[in-house]
Amino acid sequence: MPKISKKSAVKFNVISHLAVIAGLAVLPFIIENPYYLGITNLILIYTILCMGLNLILGYTGLLSLGHAAFYGLGGYATAILMTRYGFSFLPALIISGLLALIFGMLLGVPTRKVRGDYFCLLTIAFGEIFRLVAQAWIPFTGGAMGIVGIPIPRIFSWTIRSETDFYYLGLILVVFTYLSLVLLTASRFGRAFVAIREDELAASVMGINTPAYKILAFSIGSFYAGLAGSYLAVYQTTITPSSFRLDESCLMIIMVIVGGMGSLLAPISGVIIMTLATEAFRSLADYRMLIIGVIMVTVLLFRPQGLFGTAAFKD
Amino acid sequence: MLTEVLIVGVMVGAIYSLVTIGYSMVYGILKLMNFAHGDVYIFGTLVCYTLLAKFHLNPFLAVLAAAVSGGLLAALVELIAYRRLRAAQHRMISMITALGAAYVIQNSSELRWGNQVLSFPSLFPNQSVVFFGIQISVTHIFTLCVAVVVIVGFNLFLKYHKAGKAILCVSEDIPTSSLMGIPINRTISVVYFLGGVFGVLGGVLYSASYNAISISMGFRGTIIAFTAAVIGGIGSLGGALIGGMILGLSENLISVYVSSSYKDPITFLILISILLIRPTGILGSTESGKV
């Protein structure tokens, strides 16, 4: 059983964290090839997404197959605000995150009554409705062609243009996500989430307002997805509904579970493995999903708790 | 017009029910979302396509062989990807191995059959009969008959046959059934086998009535089965029937009277409203927490 106690907050070692961040900060000087840096940026996006999803799935135990919709909400919000209303990047980023938070809250409300896999289907339905509306509402979202020509983002005097610039932007977002989640999971909120996951009934008897905490976990996890979507919009300079299909939500779930649920850093290993596998087998396009499927099955048959997960928790 | 739409809706609903039964049964016993279900039945349907279009086998034999192959594949997937994970693990993990198995089956089928839409041969004579002034095609009548016979037959099997009763017992309580001497592993294999067989039957009937089959229908099939199972109440046979019918009818009514591009969003909205009114589906029982 994973231990999330106050101790982990106390042990939070500032020096080792600074060292890792410093190491990551010099990475673009080691990887100069823009193709590899592009893959690194992809890993950063999925890291933000999966850390958010891990809060929902790994900590609170809610299965969400609609994470791509919140990712998409963030992406479309940034794209529309920046191309039509002349917003600069920073406010667009914040609004995107908050929009995903609000929709997460709305979708979280039914958890009060709709439980378990019924809730999972609700998230699938939300994701599909989002994607189909994005495809059909052509005047607002550009339909299947999406929105193109999203301007180059600027934060104060920093123009984010090259792969390296985007790497640093992504790194800042990842560090923000990680630090905020460290604080959140070590707080009473984090302990409440874990209590709900372990035994919802017992948690409610202990005085935890379980519906409120579930909605909270769901909306905070979605908030990060909104940030990641906003980043994707400016990084790709285009946004299309096909980036936010159900497959994408499945991929995020796979990353979290293969990496290991319920620990803050473990999903990153899943992100790295799945992203690298997708890239490495690109030349074997015909066999790619076959290989990825085999990897998924074998990893979980031999390490059901995920690669770096702590012991699997009970259902 | 309306009667014809309703008849097609009932036919599609019957097919969806067939596909849903296998899914719902697996869920009822193992509480596992079987993401490989759709790809297994598309595999069987593609086998049927090859037997019919390339080898010109007798349609009855071809469907039988395809159904058995789908059933065996489903049982094999259970043996390799799920059985080891059944005991004392979080069930989301077997859900992901199911997804992995789905990728493997989908990709293997794609290597063999390609990802384009293939034209599936008709199984039934391309005629229609007139009942009380309503024109009904023979395909629709046969499809409905096959679906009804299979569903009724399966219901009788569950009630009266020893193996069927074993399935019901295992779905109630695995440890107790095991203590009563029911072979758990064998029963679960039978469930997967039957789920695959029914899925392939549904897939063949669907493809035969629309004369089309493609790999991409697999994942959609899984989602349809999941949706139908949830609308009716997961794990209940009657629920699978009701859910399948609601989906089939609503899809056809919406695509005729509204627009086919809003078919899926409206279907999902129906799903959401049903879940908000009855959080465990129409026939689902409310589970109370155990202390």
Q: Is residue A293 part of a domain?
A: no
> Is residue A308 included in any domain, yes or no?
no
Cα(A65)–Cα(A63) distance, integer angstroms: 7
Query: Looking at residue A109, what is its pLDDT?
Result: 87
Q: Report yes or no: B228 at the A interface, CB cutoff 8 Å.
A: no
Predicted confidence band of residue A227 (pLDDT cuts 50, 70, 90): very high
Does any CB of chain A come closer than 8 Å to the CB of residue B231? no
B107 residue type, one letter: N
Query: What was the ipTM of the complex prediction?
Result: 0.79
Contact B90 A313 (CB under 8 A): yes
Phi, psi of A147 (to 5 degrees): -110, 130
Tokens of A130: 């989002």
Between CA B48 and CA B55, with CA B52 as vertex, the angle to 5 degrees is: 115
Write out the two tokens for A91: 């406010």
> Chain B residues with CB inside 8 Å of A126's CB?
268, 272
Tell me which residue has tokens 């009514």: B253
Residue type for position A24: L
Burial of residue A49 (CB within 10 Å: 0-12, 13-18, 19+) is buried
Does the structure show a pLDDT above 50 at A1?
A: no
- Residue type (1 letter), B276: L
Contact B212, B220 (CB under 8 A): no
**Residue A285 located in a structural domain:** no
B242-256 burial: b if 16+ Cβ within 10 Å, else e: bbbbbbbbbbbbbbb
Query: Would you say residue A4 has pLDDT above 60?
Result: no
Q: Is the pLDDT of residue A141 over 60?
A: yes
**Sequence-separated (6 or more) residues with CB below 8 Å from residue B117:** B212, B213, B214
Provide the domain count of chain A.
1
Rg from Cα positions in chain B: 19
Q: How far is B58 from chain A (nearest CA, A)?
A: 33
* B260 interfacial to chain A (CB closer than 8 Å): no
Query: What's the token pair of residue A52?
Result: 């958010």
Of B91, B265, B272, the CB nearest to A122: B272
* Among the listed residues A121, A157, A126, A88, the one whose alpha carbon sits nearest the alpha carbon of residue A244: A126
CA dihedral B265, B268, B273, B279 (to 10 degrees): -160
The predicted structure's pLDDT at residue B47 = 92
In whole angstroms, give the CA distance from residue B69 to residue B252: 31
Does A315 contact chain B (CB < 8 Å)?
Answer: yes
Residue A9: pLDDT band with limits 50, 70, 90:
very low
Q: Is residue A297 part of a domain?
A: no
Would you place residue A258 in the very low, low, confident or very high pLDDT band (cuts 50, 70, 90)? confident
Mutation to test the A interface, candidates B24, B93, B291, most A Cβ within 10 Å: B93
Least confident among A111-120, A165-174, B82-91, B180-189: B82-91
Q: Which helix (H) or strand (E) holds A2?
A: none
Token couple for A191:
């302990």
Tell me, yes or no, whether A237 lies in a domain.
yes
Q: How far is B208 from chain A (nearest CA, A)?
A: 28
Amino acid identity of residue A101, one-letter, is L
The CB-side HSE value for B179 (13 A sphere, CA atoms) comes to 4
**CB distance B31 to A63 below 8 Å:** no
Q: Which pLDDT belongs to residue A97?
A: 93
Distance between alpha carbon B145 and the CA centroid of its chain, in Å?
17
Q: Please give the Cα distance from B16 to B25 (Å, whole number).
A: 14
Which of A121, A201, A295 lies closest to B271 in CB terms? A121
Class of domain B2-277: mainly alpha
- The residues, ordered by sequence, that sit 6+ positions from A14 with a Cβ below 8 Å of its Cβ are none
pLDDT-wise least confident of A83-97, A230-244, B26-40, B157-171: B26-40
Instruction: State the pLDDT confidence band at A99, using cuts at 50, 70 and 90.
Output: very high
| Range A292-315 average pLDDT | 74
Contact criterion met (CB < 8 Å) for A132 and B103: no
Question: Across the interface, which of A117, A200, A297 has its CB nearest the CB of B101?
Answer: A297
What letter represents residue A54's amino acid? N
Strands A154-155, A158-159: pairing kind = antiparallel
Q: Does A294 touch chain B (CB under 8 A)?
A: yes
Is residue B278 classed exposed, middle or buried when 0-12, 13-18 and 19+ CB atoms within 10 A define those classes? middle
> A124 vs B96: CB contact, 8 Å cut-off?
no
Q: Which two tokens stand for residue A300?
A: 């979980």
| Chain-chain contact of B110 with A286 (C-beta, under 8 angstroms) | yes
B96/B33 Cα distance (integer angstroms): 9
CB B217 within 8 A of CB B204: no
Looking at residue A314, what is its pLDDT? Answer: 47
Please check whether residue A117 touches B, CB under 8 A.
yes
- Has residue A186 been placed in a domain? yes
> Counting Cβ atoms within 10 Å, is residue A155 exposed (0-12), middle (13-18) or buried (19+)?
middle
Looking at the domain assignment, is residue A85 inside a domain? yes
Tell me, yes or no, if A115 comes closer than 8 A to chain B by beta carbon. Answer: yes
In this predicted structure, the answer to whether residue A57 has a pLDDT above a threshold of 80 is: yes
DSSP letter string, chain B: -HHHHHHHHHHHHHHHHHHHHHHHHHHHHH----TTHHHHHHHHHHHHHHHHHTT---HHHHHHHHHHHHHHHHHHHIIIIIGGG-TTS-HHHHHHHHHHHHHHHHHHHHHHH-SSPBPPPPSS-S-EEEETTEEEEHHHHHHHHHHHHHHHHHHHHHHHSHHHHHHHHHHH-HHHHHHTT--HHHHHHHHHHHHHHHHHHHHHHHHHHHT-B-TTHHHHHHHHHHHHHHHH-TT-HHHHHHHHHHHHHHHHHHHHHT-GGGHHHHHHHHHHHHHHHSTT-SSPPPPPPP-
Residue A98 maps to a domain: yes
Inter-chain CB proximity B261 and A110 less than 8 Å: no
Give the pLDDT confidence score for residue B286 in this predicted structure: 57
C-alpha to C-alpha distance for B227 and B237, rounded to whole angstroms = 14
The number of residues making up chain A comes to 315
Distance CA A198, CA A192 (A): 10
pTM of the predicted protein model: 0.84
Tokens standing for A242?
A: 């096909």
B98 interaction partners in chain A (CB closer than 8 Å): none
Average pLDDT value for chain A: 85
The predicted pLDDT at position A164 comes to 85
Using a CB–CB cutoff of 8 Å, tell me whether A20 touches chain B.
no
pLDDT by 10s per residue, chain B, length 291: 788 888 888 888 989 998 898 888 888 787 788 888 889 989 999 999 999 888 888 888 899 999 999 999 999 988 888 888 776 556 777 888 888 898 899 888 888 888 888 888 887 777 777 777 777 788 888 888 888 898 889 889 988 999 889 988 888 888 888 898 888 889 989 999 999 999 999 999 888 888 888 888 888 888 888 888 888 887 778 888 889 999 999 988 888 888 777 788 888 888 888 888 887 777 776 554 444
Range of the domain at A195: 6-10+34-244
